[in-house]
Homo-oligomer: A and B are copies of this chain.
Amino acid sequence: MVVTIVGTGLIGGSIAIAMRDQGLANRIIGVESNTSHRQRALEIKLVDEMMDWEDAVRVSDLVVLSIPVNDTNQLLPRIMNLVDKQVVIDVGSTKDPVCLSVKGHPKRGRFVATHPMWGTEYSGPDAAIKGAFENKAVVICNREQSDGDAIELVESLYRSLGMHLLYMDSAAHDLHAAYVSHISHITSFALANTVLEKEKEEDAIFEMASAGFESTVRLAKSNPAMWVPIFMQNKENVLDVLNEHISQLRKFKSCLEKENYEYLQELIEHANGIRRILK
């Protein structure tokens, strides 16, 4: 199978590594607009060659779009215009807008909307790692709008990568993604800014910071080029969750101000309920 990876960074690069490891691709073409990433992806052999997207799409069996979600929505309809029997997938963190971008397209059936639930706070070709997707979930959205053979290829691909498949309506996906991913990034960015704003003694943080701090703040290293478009596209859901989150924080604030430690205890006990969800 000839595979094109559009965007040879963290996710696209890790998919390239996994597909090669599994013997799923005998030729991997990269499409990359960032000059230094293009060079680096070739150097570390994430891809066999680099091409323009039009040429790459024409010679491929599978096209993987792993670029910021706003770019995906621009490029996807143009790719679909060139598609004959190829299968095209995206791997973005929002799914409703991308499905809308090709709604009613004569080749809509060749597109499969997917979201592998894996990522790190790093980006670029050097962030790509082996075994990234093993034992992780992948969400496939609006399955019924894709051709049967396209779905089969994509299911088989993700299963080969060791992933378990979830099926969801794209609107439901975007709501859940706001809860399990997007809000975590906002709280982490805001926490980093809180500390950087008020705590001028960076040495003290650096030396005292423990695993707890690191785990709540590490997502704040994430790339704005990827995250701004996600927040733009999922604005309504993210705002709903963010409003609720601010109101939950205000409850903690009020407990402290009023020295209502019984209610503080209750809030923490309620939060402990997350043990039901996180093993």
Contact = CB atoms under 8 A, between A and B. Distances in A.
A47 B57 CA distance: 67
A44 to B, nearest CB: 22
A272 B197 contact: no
Interface stretch (A7-15, A20-28, A207-215): A207-215
Contacts of A191: 183-184, 187, 245, 248
A264 B212 contact: no
Q: Say what secondary structure dominates the interface of chain A.
A: helix
Interface stretch (A80-88, A141-149, A220-228): A220-228
Interface string A180-196: 11011111111111111
A1 interface: no
Nearest to A164: B207
B185 A187 contact: no
B246 A242 contact: no
Given A179-B205, A196-B271, A272-B220, A249 B252 contact: no
A51 interface: no
Contacts of A189: 252, 267-268, 271
B278 A221 contact: yes
A232 B268 CA distance: 13
A104 interface: no
Interface residues of A, number: 92
Interface stretch (A35-43, A71-79, A150-158, A233-241): A233-241
B219 A180 contact: no
A213 B184 CA distance: 6
A181 B216 CA distance: 10
A92 to B, nearest CB: 14
Contact of A231 (B137, B186, B256): B256
Contact of A188 (B168, B185, B216): B216
Contacts of A184: 191, 212-213, 215-217
Interface of A: 117-120, 136-137, 139, 166, 168, 172, 176-177, 179-181, 183-199, 201-202, 204-222, 224, 227-228, 231-232, 235, 238-246, 248-253, 256-257, 259, 261, 264-265, 267-278
30 contacts: A117-B208, A117-B209, A119-B212, A137-B210, A166-B208, A177-B208, A179-B195, A179-B198, A180-B213, A183-B194, A184-B191, A184-B217, A186-B252, A187-B249, A188-B216, A189-B268, A189-B271, A190-B251, A191-B245, A192-B274, A196-B274, A202-B277, A206-B277, A209-B277, A221-B272, A224-B268, A228-B261, A232-B261, A235-B256, A242-B253
